[in-house]
Chain A
């Protein structure tokens, strides 16, 4: 059965590591849905978070291949519910939304969004949450014909594991 698997890898912050990771997906003809690289809390070690829709057998093979790669210190795969898992999105919203206070409260204020800029043409709104939540708001704004632009950050994740056990894994 195909579903979304999130691979979290701790890698040496070095040229070519990312290529090696994506090549493991490319080799098996798997499309990467989202990819995020950032510095971890260990110096010189980056966290790579990749989500892709595939089967458990395939993701196991990918992870096993990655686990063998020299500059990948630790790698595992997860389902969404196993991770603390957030994304941020920016919405470019038409000024028309301000015309009706009730609607504004309803759509934006009540959904934990934050207006970060208003200018003469539109307002920029920020929201974080699960992909589902972000998509929901996007659909709503689109439906109201108020969405002029949209961008998502990709996943930011944290293990539920303790810091100590993680440090052990990568050192």
Chain B
């Protein structure tokens, strides 16, 4: 008996179902019509969110993935649809976000002829994908989809691109599916030496007077939040977080020491410089974290736990590199860890915090009747309104750094931000994706007046798909972060950073989204309460101080010792 034949487009959807996909973000076009035609039939099996720009389909898939831990899926047509996805894919690549991006391609016999809407998507995306493949025959579909999902989520996750020719969409095939089993070791880690190395690590930790754990996003990707907390508690070790690692440990945890890096907290940055042992977990010593690497952590030995071997000794020299999944590595180390009091070290942490509180935080949060709003006050007020339980999704700029500094997090996967690529326009679509992924959680996009206008059209997606995201627009009428650099390093020459903006409240209302604007400090808390108690989508525009700076700051290329206030 011969099996029923189906076309490639249907085989693709069936393959996605086999991978557990029920949600995708996309935008149709001529070359991908066969796939969308099948989607019409399968509309009860998939929640397809129609975005307003393909870049945002990718960002939404990223937000979905970061909020849920699942692989995000996006669809786009050939040519311009595919090239529009590139920024999103590059963003996912930098931040190790597992997504599978399916873009259509012209028919096989037309490849290379500059056919209408032909773009060489594979070549364009090679440097920013973990893997990519062009499918030219329907028979390949199930095998390639299985491999794509495996690769996207395994090892250090990342984006995979499938270029699906029209030929493969239309061709008939017999559908058969089996999950991918790797023939060789890519992505999978041979963990034979973890035991030996963990002994050495435990000894280094037990011997250390001034240890500091730095948690990166790897902790979250690995699901090692509990292990991280146990390691800290068992050894009595302070934990700092990178921007990408935020929410891996609750902000209120007594051992949480704050954020490291350019706009991090004084304490963990100074601790880095004083520490005798840094335990780096799932982080990559990015330049935004280290400042001048020559002067980074001058007294510390470094234990680096990561799943990507290529990160070892890349930016800073590691004394002990342990290759493996964070959960497994920490679990192996844990039983050997002894607790130490380290009273001096903790009093140092306390002093540094008192210094930052006095010099920066207390002042900036101090309210004054009729006073102009600081971004810090807005984030502080938001954090209280959601009681630290929301998923905060940011765009890129000052508001992002204020969000990182002043948000409180109680649960993991609560901070979604574009760290590696710093992609303006990320916030709104990523928040849409996150909300679709975790509908029961409050999801708040924190965006600037510059960034929101890079994906403003997604208000249409919110309207059409009734996505109940809250949007907090911190409007300083400036490209604030660039203006800050111009002020500090370019003699206040504000070259093209002031913004003449539209009436954002009216724009939101035109999309049927409830909106309001606040300008005075005393109106903040009530406005956030109104926003949170509203059921559907909501835009709260907060007019903020025009020329506020994010402090403290480590100027680009400077040492962590040289934070400016």
Residue interface mask A64-81, B partner, CB < 8 A = 1 = 110111110100000000
Residue interface mask A134-171, B partner, CB < 8 A = 1 = 00000000000000000000000000000000000011
Chain B residues numbered 178-204 whose CB sits less than 8 Å from any CB in chain A: 183-184, 186-187
Residue interface mask A88-113, B partner, CB < 8 A = 1 = 00000000000000000000000000
Are A70's CB and B122's CB within 8 A?
no
B contact residues around A26 at 8 Å (CB)? 127
Are A170's CB and B122's CB within 8 A?
no
Can you list 16 A-B pairs, Cβ within 8 angstroms, ordered by A?
A15-B122, A16-B123, A16-B126, A16-B132, A16-B134, A19-B123, A64-B309, A64-B314, A65-B310, A67-B310, A68-B186, A70-B130, A71-B131, A73-B184, A170-B184, A171-B183
Write the chain B residue with the least CB distance to A24: B127
A contact residues around B184 at 8 Å (CB)? 73, 170-171
Chain B residues numbered 299-320 whose CB sits less than 8 Å from any CB in chain A: 308-310, 314
State the 8 A-B residue pairs at the shortest beta-carbon distance, nearest first.
Answer: A64-B310, A70-B131, A23-B127, A23-B126, A19-B126, A20-B126, A70-B186, A16-B122
Number of CB contacts from chain A to chain B under 8 A: 41
A61 within 8 A of B: yes
**Chain A, interface residues (CB within 8 Å), range:** 10 to 19
A23 to B187, alpha carbons, bound, how many Å? 20
Residue interface mask B339-355, A partner, CB < 8 A = 1 = 00000000000000000
Are A67's CB and B309's CB within 8 A?
yes
Write the chain A residue with the least CB distance to B186: A70
* Most B C-beta atoms less than 10 A away, residue of A26, A27, A61, A68: A68
Write the chain B residue with the least CB distance to A27: B127
A20 to B128, alpha carbons, bound, how many Å? 10
Nearest chain B CB to A15 CB, angstrom units:
7
A68 to B314, alpha carbons, bound, how many Å? 14
B contact residues around A68 at 8 Å (CB)? 130, 156, 186, 308-310
B379 within 8 A of A: no
Are B314's CB and A61's CB within 8 A?
yes
Chain B residues numbered 318-352 whose CB sits less than 8 Å from any CB in chain A: none
A61 to B133, alpha carbons, bound, how many Å? 24
A15 to B131, alpha carbons, bound, how many Å? 12
Residue interface mask A24-58, B partner, CB < 8 A = 1 = 00110000000000000000000000000000000
A20 to B127, alpha carbons, bound, how many Å? 7
Are B310's CB and A70's CB within 8 A?
no
Write the chain A residue with the least CB distance to B187: A70
A27 to B126, alpha carbons, bound, how many Å? 11
Nearest chain A CB to B42 CB, angstrom units:
29
Write the chain B residue with the least CB distance to A171: B184
A20 to B132, alpha carbons, bound, how many Å? 10
Nearest chain A CB to B470 CB, angstrom units:
38
A contact residues around B468 at 8 Å (CB)? none
A69 to B310, alpha carbons, bound, how many Å? 11
Write the chain A residue with the least CB distance to B158: A68
Nearest chain A CB to B135 CB, angstrom units:
11
A contact residues around B314 at 8 Å (CB)? 61, 64
A contact residues around B126 at 8 Å (CB)? 16, 19-20, 23
Residue interface mask B282-311, A partner, CB < 8 A = 1 = 000000000000000000000000001110
B contact residues around A27 at 8 Å (CB)? 127
A contact residues around B60 at 8 Å (CB)? none
Nearest chain A CB to B105 CB, angstrom units:
13
A71 to B126, alpha carbons, bound, how many Å? 13
Write the chain B residue with the least CB distance to A63: B310
B contact residues around A71 at 8 Å (CB)? 131
Complex partner residue of A15 from B134, B156, B308, CB under 8 angstroms:
B134
A70 to B131, alpha carbons, bound, how many Å? 7
A61 to B284, alpha carbons, bound, how many Å? 14
Chain A residues numbered 1-32 whose CB sits less than 8 Å from any CB in chain B: 15-16, 19-20, 23, 26-27
A contact residues around B186 at 8 Å (CB)? 68, 70
Nearest chain B CB to A42 CB, angstrom units:
12
A67 to B312, alpha carbons, bound, how many Å? 13
A73 to B186, alpha carbons, bound, how many Å? 8
A70 to B187, alpha carbons, bound, how many Å? 8
A27 to B183, alpha carbons, bound, how many Å? 29
Nearest chain B CB to A46 CB, angstrom units:
15
B82 within 8 A of A: no
Write the chain B residue with the least CB distance to A64: B310
Are B310's CB and A61's CB within 8 A?
yes
A71 to B186, alpha carbons, bound, how many Å? 9
A65 to B134, alpha carbons, bound, how many Å? 22
Nearest chain B CB to A63 CB, angstrom units:
9
A15 to B308, alpha carbons, bound, how many Å? 25
B contact residues around A170 at 8 Å (CB)? 184
A162 to B183, alpha carbons, bound, how many Å? 22
B contact residues around A61 at 8 Å (CB)? 310, 314
* Most B C-beta atoms less than 10 A away, residue of A23, A27, A64: A64
